[in-house]
A and B are shown apart, each in its own frame.
Chain A
Amino acid sequence: MSFFFEVLIGGLLAGVMYSLVALGFVLIYKASGVFNFAQGAMVFLAALTFVGLQEKTGLPFWAVLVLTLGVMVALGIATERIVLRPLVNQPQITLFMATIGLAFFLEGAAQMIWGTDVRPLDLGIKDEPIEALMTRFNMVISKFDVFAAGVAGLLVATLAIFFNKTRIGRALRAVADDHQAALAVGIPLKTIWAIVWSVAGFVALVAGLMWGARNGVQFALTFVALKALPVLILGGFESVAGAIVGGLIIGASEKLAEVYLGPHVGGGIEGWFAYVMALLFLLIRPEGLFGEKHIDRV
C-alpha cells in the first residue's frame, strides 16, 4: 500500500510541475484569447538564458535571476509589439500559427546564442529522497519534488494576490472578461497585453528553472509544453485553478497508469496517456473542468 501512495504522491508532485507550465498558457489565453504554443519555447529560452548568463558572467544567483527576468520581460513586450499587434482581429487559428512560428524562432535563437549542449542547473536542492519518510513509511519521495511543489504554490499565491489585490491585476481580469468593455472604461489594452506576456515570461522562467534543475537544460524542455496541453484542456483554458487541478489529476493518473497499466501493454504509454485521459474528461465536460461555459447563439 505504501508503494501505491509513493507512486500517487510522486505523480501529484510531478503534476505540479506540469501545472507550472500550463499556468503560462492560461495567463495569456485568459487575457488575450491567444493559444500561445510558444510557451514551451519560452520555458526553454528562460532556462537556457539563466544557465548561460550564470556561466558567462559568474554573477550571484539573484542577480542572474533578475537579468533573465529582464530578458523575458523584454521578450514579452517585443512579442506584443511585433507579432500580436499587427495580427489584431485575425481569427484565432492565425494567432495560434503565429505562436508556432514564434516557438520555432525562439528555439532556434536560444540554441544559436547559447549552444546546443545539455547543461546542468543547480538550485542547491538535491534530487534525493526525504529520509524521514523513507524510514517511517518506507516511501521514496524526492526532496526536489516537494521543493518544486512549494515553489509552485508560492507562485500561484503570488499570482492570486497580484490578480485580486492590485490595480493592474484588476485591469487584467477586466480585459480577460471583455476586451471592448475594458477598453471602454479606459484600460490600456496594449499595455495590459505587454504585462500579461511579461508575467507569462516570468512563469516560464520559474518553470524553466524547476524543469531545468530536474532534467538538465536541454532542447527536450520544449516537449514539456506538450505535456502541459492535456493539463490545459482538462482544467479549461481560462482557469488558473483548472491548471493546478488538471496538473494534479494528469500527474497522478499518468504515474499510476505507468506503474500499474504500463507493463501490461508494453510500456511507453506516458507519451499519449495524458491526452487520452483528457479526451475522456472532455467528452463529459467539453470545456474542461473549470472552463467557461459557452452558449452558442445563431
Chain B
Amino acid sequence: MFYREAGQFKATYAADQQLFPIRQDRWAIATILAIAIFIVPLIANDYWFSAILIPLLVFSVAAIGLNILTGYAGQLSLGSAAFMAVGAVAAYNFQLRVPGMPILGSFILGGLSAAAVGVAFGLPSLRIKGFYLAVATLAAQFFIPWLLVKVGWFSNYSASGVITAQAVVIAGYAFDTPIKKYLLVLVIAAVMALLAKNMVRSRIGRAWMAVRDMDVAAEVIGIHMLQTKLLAFAVSSFYCGVAGALYAFAYLGTVQPEDFNLDLSFRILFMIIVGGVGSILGSFLGAAFITLLPIFLDLLLTKLAHGFNLNLQGGAISMAQLVVFGALIIFFLIVEPHGLARLWQIGKEKLRLWPFPY
C-alpha cells in the first residue's frame, strides 16, 4: 500500500539507473542514515559505542571486502583477518614514520598496502580453484601475522608486535571520544559501502560475477582472467585493510598481530554467509548479527543460569555459547541459505503486493 513504485515515472536514463530506483527506498536509507548520525549519538552510551556500534561498522567494512571477493568474484578466502592485520600495521607505520601524514591518508595507504599483499596472495588463484584456493589462502592467514611479529620494524620494536594506534586527528579536530570515533567510522563505512555498491553494478562487477558463475565461460567471452581476479583480490584486501586500520585506530587502540587470527577470518566469513553472499546490504546485516549474537547469548545464558539457580562457571557459559552459536549457524544455513539479505528482499516483495497475497 505504502511501498509501491506505481506512479513513479522515470524520464531519464540517469533516473532509471540510480542506486535506489524506488522513492520509498531512498527515504528509508536517508532515514536510517539520519537516525545513525543524529539520533543514535543522543540515546546511546559509551558502552554501546565502543563495544557494539564501532565494531559492528568496522566488521561491516571487512565483510563488504570479503563479500566482493567471495560473493561477487567467487574466490573463497579464509585469510581476511591477515589482510586486516596488514592494513592496521601499515596505517600505524605511515602515521609513525611519515611526518605530517593525515590520518585518513594513513588509512588509505594502509588499505593500499593490504591490497598489494592481497594481489601477491591472489596470484595462485589463477591456477588453483575452489577449496584448494581456500586452503591456500590459509597460508596468508598464518604467514602474515608471523611475519609482522618476527620483523620488529613493523611494530617499532615493541614486545610481541603490539602496536598502539596514534590519536585520530583530522584537520586539528581530535576524534577522541567513543561518539566521535563512531561518527568517523560511520562516515567511512557509508562511503565505502556506496563505492562498493557502485563498483559491483559497473563493468568490473559484472566481470566478477561472470567469473564467479563460470570462469571458463567468462574467459571465452573475453574477460581478462588475470586482471579480473587480481582486481577482486586487490579491492577486497583494500576494504579489509581499511577495516583493519579502523579496528586498530577507532575500536581497540592497541592491537597485536595475533588478534587477527583464524577465528576472526571465520567470523567475517560467517558474517557474509549469514548476511547474504553477494550482497552489500547483507554484509551489514551479517556483521550486525554476528556482533550482537555473542552479547545476546551471554546475557541470555547468564539470566538462564540465574533463573534455574545453576552454578555455572564462566567457562561453562562460554562453552554453551559456542554450542548455541554453532547450532544457530547450521540452523540458519538450513532455513535460509541465501542469508538475511534474501529475507529482506522477500519482505520487500511481500510489502509491494500487500494486502493482496499475489
A interface residues (Cβ-Cβ under 8 A, vs B): 35, 82-83, 86-87, 90, 92-94, 96-98, 100-109, 111-112, 116, 226, 229-230, 232-233, 237, 265-266, 268-269, 271-272, 275-276, 278-279, 282-283, 286-288, 296-298
Question: Does B226 sit within 8 A of A, measured CB to CB?
Answer: no
Q: How far is B277's CA from A111's CA once the two chains are assembled, in angstroms? A: 32
CB <8 Å contact, A111 and B319: yes
Q: Mark B119-152, 1 if CB is under 8 A from A, else 0.
A: 0000010011111101110110011001001100
Decide: A94 and B273 in contact? CB cutoff 8 A: yes
* Bound CA–CA A132/B215 (angstroms): 58
CB nearest neighbor in A for B335: A86
B34 at the interface (CB under 8 A from A): no
Hey, which chain A residues are within 8 Å of B319, CB to CB?
A: 108-109, 111-112, 116
Question: Are the CB atoms of A97 and B142 closer together than 8 Å?
Answer: no
Task: State in angstroms the CA–CA spacing of A266 and B151 once bound together.
Answer: 9
**A–B Cβ pairs within 8 angstroms, 14 of them:** A87-B333, A87-B334, A87-B337, A90-B337, A104-B325, A106-B326, A111-B315, A112-B320, A116-B315, A230-B138, A269-B146, A272-B139, A275-B142, A276-B143
Distance (whole angstroms) from the CB of B166 to the closest CB of chain A = 27
* Residues in A whose Cβ lies below 8 Å from that of B70: 93
Task: Specify which chain A residues have a CB less than 8 angstroms from the CB of B273 in the assembled complex.
Answer: 93-94, 97
With an 8 Å Cβ cutoff, the count of chain B residues facing the other chain is 47
Nearest A residue to B129 via CB reads A286
Q: How far is the CB of A236 from chain B (nearest CB, A)?
A: 9
B191 within 8 A of A: no
Residues of B close to A297: CB separation below 8 A: 216
Evaluate contact between B139 and A92: CB separation under 8 angstroms: no
Interface: B304 (CB within 8 A): no
Residue pairs across A and B with CB atoms within 8 Å: the count is 137
Tell which of B132, B136, B316, B330 touches A83, judged by Cβ atoms closer than 8 Å: B330
For A286, give its contact among B127, B135, B266, B327 (CB under 8 Å): B127
Whether A98 pairs with B329 at a CB distance below 8 angstroms is yes
The answer to whether A283 touches B266 (Cβ under 8 A) is no
Shortest Cβ distance from B143 into chain A, in angstroms? 4
Residue from the list A87, A92, A107 in contact with B131, Cβ < 8 A: A92
The residue in chain A whose Cβ has the minimal distance to the Cβ of B131 is A35
Q: B338 to chain A: closest CB distance in Å?
A: 9
Contact across chains for A298 and B217 when beta carbons are under 8 A apart: yes
Q: Which residues of A contact B327 (CB under 8 A)?
A: 101, 105
Task: Report the Cα distance A103→B323, complex, angstroms.
Answer: 9
| Inter-subunit contact B131/A279 (CB<8 Å) | no
- A108 to B214 Cα, complex, angstroms: 38
Q: Which of the residues A96, A105, A288, A298 comes within 8 Å of B330, measured between beta carbons?
A: A105
The distance from the CB of A89 to the nearest CB of chain B, in whole angstroms, is: 10
Closest residue of chain B to A276, judged by CB? B139
Q: Which residue of B lies closest to A271 (CB)?
A: B142
Complex alpha-carbon distance, A173 and B277, angstroms: 33
Q: How far is the CB of A127 from chain B (nearest CB, A)?
A: 27
Give min CB distance, A282 to chain B, whole Å. Answer: 5
- Across the interface, do A233 and B330 meet the contact criterion of CB distance under 8 Å? no
Chain A residues within 8 Å of B138, by CB: 226, 229-230, 275
Given contact pairs A97-B329, A112-B320, A226-B138, a sample of 15 additional A-B residue pairs in the complex whose CB atoms are under 8 Å apart: A35-B131, A87-B334, A94-B333, A97-B269, A100-B266, A101-B329, A101-B333, A104-B323, A104-B325, A108-B326, A109-B323, A112-B316, A266-B150, A282-B132, A296-B215
Whether A282 contacts B330 in the complex (CB less than 8 A), given A97-B273, A296-B216, comes out as: no
Q: How far is the CA of A275 from the CA of B315 in the complex (A)?
A: 32
Give chain A residues whose Cβ lies under 8 Å from the Cβ of B316: 112
Given that A93-B76, A97-B269 are known contacts, is A102 also in contact with B330, CB under 8 Å in the complex?
Answer: yes
* B270 proximal to A (CB < 8 A): yes
**Which chain B positions have C-beta within 8 A of A272?**
139, 142-143, 146
| Residue B14 at the chain A interface, CB threshold 8 Å | no
- Verify if B236 is at the interface (C-beta below 8 Å from A): no
CB–CB A282/B325 < 8 A: no
Contact A230 B326 (CB under 8 A): no
Q: Which residues of A have CB within 8 Å of B320?
A: 108, 112
* Minimum CB distance partner of A236 in chain B: B132
A104-B329 CB under 8 A given contacts A232-B135, A272-B139: yes
- A93 and B67 CA atoms in complex are apart in Å by 13
Q: Is residue B321 within 8 Å, beta carbon to beta carbon, of the partner chain?
A: yes
Q: How far is the CA of A8 from the CA of B142 in the complex (A)?
A: 24
Contact B124 A104 (CB under 8 A): no
Query: When each residue 256-272 of chain B gets 1 if its CB lies under 8 Å from chain A and 0 otherwise, what string results?
Result: 00000010001001100
CA distance A17 to B262 in the complex (A): 23
Q: Is B39 in contact with chain A by the CB < 8 A criterion?
A: no
- Minimum CB–CB distance from B122 to chain A (whole Å) comes to 12
Q: For residue A35, which residue of chain B has the nearest CB?
A: B131
Q: A96-B131, A276-B139, A298-B220 are in contact. Are A282 and B326 (CB under 8 A)?
A: no
Q: Which residues of A contact B277 (CB under 8 A)?
A: 93
| A83 CA to B326 CA, complexed, in Å | 11
Look across to chain A and name the residue whose beta carbon is closest to the beta carbon of B217: A298
* Whole-angstrom distance between the Cβ of B226 and the nearest chain A Cβ: 15
Residues of A contacting B216 with CB < 8 Å?
Answer: 296-298
Asked if A282 meets B136 with Cβ closer than 8 Å, knowing A105-B322, A105-B326, A298-B220, the reply is yes
> Are A233 and B135 neighbours in the complex by a CB distance under 8 Å?
yes
In the complex, the chain B residue whose C-beta lies closest to that of A287 is B132
CA of A108 to CA of B125, assembled, Å: 34
A90, A101, A230, A265: which contacts B135 (Cβ < 8 A)? A230
Inter-chain contacts of B322 with A (CB < 8 A): 104-105, 107-108, 111
Contact: A94 with B315, CB < 8 Å? no
Query: Which one of A83, A100, A109, A232 has the highest number of Cβ atoms from chain B below 10 Å of its Cβ?
Result: A100
Q: Separation in Å of the A297 CB from the closest CB of chain B?
A: 7
List of B residues within 8 angstroms of A278 by Cβ: 135-136, 139
Whole-angstrom distance between the alpha carbons of A83 and B334 in the complex?
8
CA A297 to CA B217, docked complex, whole Å: 8
Q: Point out the residues of chain B lying under 8 angstroms from A94, CB to CB.
A: 273, 333, 337
Task: Point out the residues of chain B lying under 8 angstroms from A106, CB to CB.
Answer: 326
